[in-house]
Amino acid sequence: MSHSYPSHVTIVDVSPRDGLQNESMTVPTEVKQTLINDLIAAGVKKLEATSFVSPKWVPQMGDNSALLDALAPTRQTDVCYSVLVPNMRGFENAILHRPDEIVIFGSASETFSQKNINCSIDESIERFAPVAAVAKAQGIKVRGVISCTVGCPYEGEIDPSQVAYVTKRLIEIGSEQIGIADTIGVGTPLKVQRALQAALEYADISMLSGHFHDTYGQALSNTLAALQMGVSEFDTSVAGLGGCPYAKGATGNVATEDVVYMLHGMGISTGIDLDKLVVAGERISEFLKRPNGSNVARAIINKRRS
**Interaction site with a second copy (CB under 8 A):** 1, 185, 187-191, 193, 197, 214-218, 220-221, 223-225, 228-229, 245-250, 252, 255, 258, 261-262, 264-267, 291, 294-296, 298-299, 302, 305-306
**Choice between 5 and 287, CB closer to a second copy:** 5
Catalytic site residue from 80, 148, 152, 244: 244
Cβ 54 to a second copy, closest distance in Å?
Answer: 25
Cβ 190 to a second copy, closest distance in Å?
Answer: 5
- Pair 66, 81: CB distance under 8 Å: no
Cβ 171 to a second copy, closest distance in Å?
Answer: 23
**Choice between 43 and 153, CB closer to a second copy:** 153
Read off the amino acid at residue 139: G
**Choice between 77 and 306, CB closer to a second copy:** 306
Cβ 140 to a second copy, closest distance in Å?
Answer: 34
Cβ 257 to a second copy, closest distance in Å?
Answer: 8
**Choice between 132 and 288, CB closer to a second copy:** 288
**Choice between 41 and 224, CB closer to a second copy:** 224
- Pair 282, 301: CB distance under 8 Å: yes
**Choice between 16 and 185, CB closer to a second copy:** 185
- Pair 198, 160: CB distance under 8 Å: yes
- 80 catalytic? Reply is no
Q: Residue 175: which residues within 8 A CB-CB, separation 6 or more?
A: 104, 132, 142, 143, 144
Cβ 215 to a second copy, closest distance in Å?
Answer: 5
List, in sequence order, every residue forming a beta bridge with 104; answer none if it has no partner: 144
Residue-wise DSSP of the chain: ------SB-EEEE-IIIIIHHTSSS---HHHHHHHHHHHHHTT--EEEEEE-S-TTT-GGGTTHHHHHHHHGGG--TTSEEEEE--SHHHHHHHHTT--SEEEEEEES-HHHHHHHHSS-HHHHHHHHHHHHHHHHHTT-EEEEEEE-SSEETTTEE--HHHHHHHHHHHHHTT-SEEEEEETTS---HHHHHHHHHHHTTTS-GGGEEEEEB-TTS-HHHHHHHHHTTT--EEEEBGGG-SS-TTSTT---BPBHHHHHHHHHHTT-B-S--HHHHHHHHHHHHHHHT-----HHHHHHHHHHH-
Residues involved in catalysis: 244
